[in-house]
Amino acid sequence: MLVLSRRADESILIQPAEGTDGTMTLQQLFANGPILITLLGSTGRRVKVGIDAPEQLAIRRKDVT
């Protein structure tokens, strides 16, 4: 599980991982399961989010693309 903290107006980017075949269908990308997003808590204006996703997907903070 990847754990990120985000504030209001900050984003998370989910896209095919580097080296993933660009011709894969959505069915193939999600063959190992769905994306699971869990809200783990918050403090002030920050929310902690846990994300489980198939290995074919890369998850990054949008400001670090």
CA torsion, ordered 12, 17, 22, 26, to nearest 10 deg: -60
pLDDT in tens, 17-29: 999 998 999 999 8
Domain of 48 in residue numbering reads as 2-64
Residue 4 in this model has a pLDDT that exceeds 80: yes
Residue 63 in this model has a pLDDT that exceeds 90: no
pLDDT in tens, 26-53: 999 899 899 999 999 999 999 999 999 9
Of the pLDDT bands very low, low, confident and very high (cuts 50, 70, 90), residue 64 is low
What CATH number should be reported for the domain holding residue 18?
2.60.40.4380
pTM of the model: 0.78
Residue 14 in this model has a pLDDT that exceeds 80: yes
Q: What does the alpha-carbon distance between residue 13 and residue 2 come to, in Å, rounded to a whole number?
A: 13
Q: How many domains does the chain have?
A: 1
